[in-house]
Amino acid sequence: MFFYLAQQTINAIQLGSIYALIALGYSMVYGVLVMINFAHGDLFMLGAFACLLLAVLLPVHLPFVVILLLVMVVIGLLGALIERVAYRPLRDAPRVSAIITALGCGLVIENTTLSLSPYPQFMPKLFDSTTLTYASLTITTLQILIIGVALGLMVGLDFLIRKTGFGMAMRAISFDSRTVPLMGIPVNRMISLTFFVGAGLGGAAGMLYGLAYPQISATMGVLIGWKAFIAAVIGGIGSIRGAVLGGFILGGVEVMSVAYLPSTYRDLISYSLLLAILIFKPYGLLGQPPNQKV
Amino acid sequence: MSRFLDSVARCRWALPALIAAGFAFALACETFPILNDYSKIVLITVGINIILCVSLNLVNGYMGEFSVGHAGFMALGAYASALMTTKWLPACLFELPLAVVFGGTVAAVIGFLLALLSFKTRGDYLAIITLAFLMIVKSAIENISYVGGPRGMTPPVLTNLPWTFFWVVLTLWIIRNLVYSKFGRAITAIREDEIAANAMGVRTREAKILAFVISSFFGGVAGALYAQVNFFIDPKSFDIVKSTEILVMVYLGGIASLGGSIIGAVIFTILLQVLQPLGTWRMVILPLILVLLMLFRPRGIMGMRELPWFLPVRELFKGPKR
Amino acid sequence: MSALLEINNVTKRFGGLCAISKCDIRVEAGRTHGIIGPNGAGKTTLFNLITGIYKPTEGDIRFCGESIAGLRPGRIACKGIGRTFQSIRLLKSQTVLENVRIAFDSQLHYSPVEAMLRLPRLGRDENISIDASLELLRPFGLADQVHDLAGDLPYGSQRKLEIARALALKPDLLLLDEPAAGMNTGETADLTEFLRWVKEHFQVTLVLIEHHMHLVMNLCDRITVLDFGQTIAEGTPEEIRSTPRVIEAYLGGTEEE
């Protein structure tokens, strides 16, 4: 009984850390631009496919770390590109236009991938994973790696935000984007960098997800991306810590509800939880209401 | 040429004449084989999409919110009406209109609840609540075996062209009346500046309730019509993809514009059919068109402008320059 | 006889910040009352408290003898308090006429059903609304621009439109938040005359927040001075002009070491 719970906890941490990585991308972008980047989930999906392509198409067998870095950089660049081409021109337009554009970009990415790969693909194993057993608990080295990489990236991001100039600029922009340029901060470059990092994390999450649950499909982004978005909202969208918190909460809720209840209830519980949290804390657990001066 | 168009626009009996002609044509199609079945289904789909578009525009366009849950109201209307036509009152007189009204009412009740939630939050957070609502409706349906769960239901085919036409006209008429009344002004004021609206004595809570209830009612109506035309519905038909399609139509055609919603629905539906040979590439091209449209015309084709036929008489002369 | 507006010992705290502290003001009907003070003194917060945007932490606000503290802004507006805003809050994408009609709508009484089915009462009420709004706009000099978008008007006209809109409520009390902001001396003089006319013509009691001393001194019967959320003086313009504390608040005191 206890061991079942402990086993599920490991699964929950794995799923939760992946959700957290994706949620971070949403929160970072919302923090600087107050915009929900609806294309983010599809970038996550591309991360998985990028890893697949790199692993399968290249004649040389690359080590895990190299593939991870390549995936992060490529998806990061794509994220920054989308911002430059589709979002930046709409900075002064009604906010809704930017959101619709994001939706459109996401659809384009998703359906292009779907057209090129109508059926789900299998992610190959990048290395041989061994299973460790302790008492009745099993954990694979793959799981340890996934959780480790995810946590490592989160720690790295935290460092980036709290200890570097970029992080400070990002936080400044999220407070007041109009006076920041007056202080000599190149706002556009910072925003591009934010998208780069956020998308990179999403891409990494995609790769990790594909390794954890080896069947990947083009519609993954819609399914998982929206879930991670909900995680970001639960934690308070715009809050970095909130994204991580929300990711783990959602991962935990999903895994536990599948473990102990009929699996069809999983989504119902997750979304009802979201609604319940929003009714009592409309801005998420760690979120702040926007201040409005009258 | 534009003077001719202008005088056509100002001709007050043009619209009623068009409606009568359209209705006659729809009836004729039922009796004589003028159109084949495929064309009829396309036209019915256009009609359903117009209803979806116009009803969502009330909340997203006129009131300036961002509801992504409209497919949820469609689902409620579809399933409620399907229950009526398959299990509760199969084969009775006036089956379709009864089922449609029932579907709309069920959706409206839930819409009312959503309106209450909207008092506390606005903007992005309300958008997220509507998303949660959509997902909950879909998951709930999947878990209720009485309505077939994930395997869906098979309602009888009852929707035809004349009925669709009737509901389209009714939807447009009612929403247009609402928009050009004090309630419509209140709804628009909420979009522009809710605090100023309150300071001017506008009853914003009443307006929000009205907008959500009417919007969800007609979303349910569209769902009911949809259920009785496809002879199959399942929860997957009403997920985020469907909501996204409706959003695309609304923003394509233009926010806060009835004429825009008609245009958006027609263009989207026809394009989707025309581009059928392209398969999934359709949904690459259409969003791309949308993105380009947003970059050059952020408010949509007819954003915040209106066909003169819809304007009340006194507002027609010296119309504003938008 | 109770005053038209009474602010009784009102305190407003936002978390740890005390924006208004034990404020007492009485405004008699038919008067013009000025509220002055340095920036950040809490003047607009006071207006927001009166109009229901904020609820007082302590104290009471009474209008026509009735307590209005804590009521929602829409209800307070319908009771007869109109206001303008420091940064103009017009509905910029709507026309001049539509902006005024919105304020008039609380006096129309048709139901949603009558609206949606276009029953006769809708048409009658709508015509009344349009006629009354046009009538209101005429003395403001905006009759030729009724179909222009409010956002396209020049600044001075926008301020006038805001005042017209507030008057459509047929208020007994009109709160004006810095009506002369951004105006030069000549424009301010015109505005002073204009406000005098508004008061006569519409029979309203005026309360204004202002920084232009000429306007305040010429127009107001009584003045309350706020600083750091507290009333530091109240009286006629002559009295206020010569109160040392007021001068000190605006210009700083002399340093006596």
CATH, residue C240: 3.40.50.300
* Token pair 């057993």 in the structure block, residue: A133
- Would C257 be classed as within a structural domain? no
Give the Å distances, CA to CA, from A91 to A30, A32, A88, A105, A263: 13, 12, 5, 16, 42
Cβ-Cβ contacts under 8 Å between A and C: the total is 4
Cβ contact, residue pair B295, A89, below 8 Å: yes
Which residues in chain C are contacts of B182 at CB distance < 8 A? 101, 105, 108, 110, 115, 125, 129
Cβ contact, residue pair B314, C103, below 8 Å: no
pLDDT in tens, B132-152: 899 999 999 998 988 888 888
pLDDT in tens, C37-65: 888 888 999 999 999 999 999 999 999 98
Nearest-angstrom CA–CA distance, B277 and C172: 68
- For residue C12, what pLDDT is reported? 93
Q: Is B174 on the interface with A (CB under 8 A)?
A: no
Instruction: Record the tokens describing residue B10, joined without a space.
Output: 């100002």
Percent of chain C with pLDDT over 90: 69
Question: At residue B321, does pLDDT exceed 50?
Answer: no
**ipTM, 2 dp:** 0.89
Stretch A169-197: mean pLDDT? 83
- For residue B136, what pLDDT is reported? 93
Residues in contact with B174: Cβ distance below 8 Å, sequence separation at least 6, in sequence order: B214, B218, C116, C117
B2: confidence class by pLDDT, cuts 50, 70, 90: low
CA C240 to chain centre: 22
Q: Is C44 on the interface with A (CB under 8 A)?
A: yes
- Would C256 be classed as within a structural domain? no
Nearest-angstrom CA–CA distance, B208 and B311: 22
Q: How near does any CA of chain A get to the CA of C1, in Å?
A: 33
Which residues in chain A are contacts of B143 at CB distance < 8 A? 264-265, 268
Instruction: Record the tokens describing residue C7, joined without a space.
Output: 């602010």
Which residues in chain B are contacts of A100 at CB distance < 8 A? 247-248, 251, 290, 294
CA angle A46, A47, A52 (to 5 degrees): 90
- Would B214 be classed as within a structural domain? yes
Nearest-angstrom CA–CA distance, A22 and A251: 12
Stretch C120-136: mean pLDDT? 92
Instruction: Record the tokens describing residue A252, joined without a space.
Output: 């935990």
Nearest-angstrom CA–CA distance, B124 and A86: 20
Instruction: Record the tokens describing residue B96, joined without a space.
Output: 């379709």
CA angle B198, B202, B203 (to 5 degrees): 100
Instruction: Record the tokens describing residue C196, joined without a space.
Output: 């005098």
Question: At residue C256, does pLDDT exceed 50?
Answer: no
- Would B46 be classed as within a structural domain? yes
Q: Is B313 on the interface with A (CB under 8 A)?
A: no
pLDDT in tens, A226-264: 889 889 988 988 888 899 999 999 999 999 988 888 888
* Token pair 């539906």 in the structure block, residue: B269
pLDDT in tens, B88-128: 887 777 888 999 999 999 999 999 999 998 888 877 888 88
Q: How near does any CA of chain C get to the CA of B284, in Å?
A: 34
Pairing type for strands C5-14 and C58-63 reads: antiparallel
Dihedral angle at the C-alpha atoms of C250, C254, C256, C257, nearest 10 degrees?
80
Cβ contact, residue pair B186, C83, below 8 Å: no
- Would B227 be classed as within a structural domain? yes
- Would B115 be classed as within a structural domain? yes
Nearest-angstrom CA–CA distance, B61 and B73: 17
Residue B123 in 3-state DSSP?
coil
Cβ contact, residue pair B288, A267, below 8 Å: no
Q: How near does any CA of chain A get to the CA of B199, in Å?
A: 12
Cβ contact, residue pair C105, B185, below 8 Å: yes
**What are φ and ψ of residue C32, in 5° steps?**
-120, 120
- Would B191 be classed as within a structural domain? yes
* Token pair 């001049």 in the structure block, residue: C96
Of C85, C102, C115, which is closest to B181 when you measure between CB atoms?
Answer: C115
Residues in contact with A96: Cβ distance below 8 Å, sequence separation at least 6, in sequence order: B60, B64, B66, B251, B255
* Size of chain A, expressed as the number of residues it contains: 294
Give the Å distances, CA to CA, from A149 to A27, A70, B1, C8: 20, 15, 67, 62
- Would B108 be classed as within a structural domain? yes
Nearest-angstrom CA–CA distance, B318 and A262: 63
What is the tally of structural domains in chain B? 1
Stretch C222-232: mean pLDDT? 90
Residues spanned by the domain of B65: 13-238
Nearest-angstrom CA–CA distance, C206 and C30: 8
CA angle C92, C94, C95 (to 5 degrees): 110
Q: How many CB atoms lie within 10 A of CB A270?
A: 23
Residues in contact with A293: Cβ distance below 8 Å, sequence separation at least 6, in sequence order: none
Instruction: Record the tokens describing residue C245, joined without a space.
Output: 């504390």
Q: Is C53 on the interface with A (CB under 8 A)?
A: yes
Using an 8 Å Cβ cutoff, are A135 and A112 in contact? no
DSSP A2-25: HHHHHHHHHHHHHHHHHHHHHHHH
Of B177, B193, B319, which is closest to C89 when you measure between CB atoms?
Answer: B193
C91: confidence class by pLDDT, cuts 50, 70, 90: very high
Instruction: Record the tokens describing residue C61, joined without a space.
Output: 């606000």
Query: Most B CBs within 10 Å: which of C78, C94, C97, as the mutation test of the B interface?
Result: C94
- Would B305 be classed as within a structural domain? no
pLDDT in tens, B166-221: 999 999 999 999 999 999 999 999 999 999 999 999 999 999 999 999 999 999 99
Q: Is C73 on the interface with A (CB under 8 A)?
A: no
Number of helices followed by number of strands (H, E) in chain A = 10, 4
pLDDT in tens, C159-186: 999 999 999 999 999 999 999 988 888 8
Which of B255, B129, B234, B240 lies closest to B188 in space, CA to CA? B255
**What are φ and ψ of residue B161, in 5° steps?**
-65, -50
Nearest-angstrom CA–CA distance, A17 and B178: 48
Nearest-angstrom CA–CA distance, A173 and B172: 44
Q: How near does any CA of chain C get to the CA of B319, in Å?
A: 7
Nearest-angstrom CA–CA distance, C5 and C62: 6
Which of A19, A22, A14, A16 lies closest to A203 in space, CA to CA? A22
Helix-helix angle A64-82:A187-212, to 10 degrees: 140
Nearest-angstrom CA–CA distance, B56 and A152: 44
Of C102, C116, C147, which is closest to B197 when you measure between CB atoms?
Answer: C102
- Would B243 be classed as within a structural domain? no
What is the tally of structural domains in chain C? 1
Stretch A16-26: mean pLDDT? 93
* Size of chain B, expressed as the number of residues it contains: 322
Which chains are adjacent to chain B, needing at least 3 Cβ pairs under 8 Å? A, C
Stretch B32-52: mean pLDDT? 91
Which residues in chain A are contacts of C48 at CB distance < 8 A? 294
Answering whether pTM is above 0.80, one says yes
Instruction: Record the tokens describing residue C221, joined without a space.
Output: 């019967």
Helix-helix angle B95-118:B204-230, to 10 degrees: 140
Residues spanned by the domain of C103: 5-251
Encoded amino acid at C168, one letter: A
- CA closest to A292 among chain B residues: B195
Cβ contact, residue pair C72, B198, below 8 Å: yes
Which of A260, B130, B77 lies closest to A269 in space, CA to CA? A260
- For residue B315, what pLDDT is reported? 63
Q: Is B273 on the interface with A (CB under 8 A)?
A: no
Per-residue b/e over B233-254, b at no fewer than 16 CB within 10 Å?
bbbebbbbebbbbbbbbbbbbb
Of C73, C98, C147, which is closest to B198 when you measure between CB atoms?
Answer: C73
For residue A156, the number of C-alpha atoms closer than 13 Å in the C-beta half-sphere is 11
B15: confidence class by pLDDT, cuts 50, 70, 90: confident
Of A96, A274, A279, which is closest to B66 when you measure between CB atoms?
Answer: A96
Query: Most A CBs within 10 Å: which of B119, B284, B301, as the mutation test of the A interface?
Result: B284
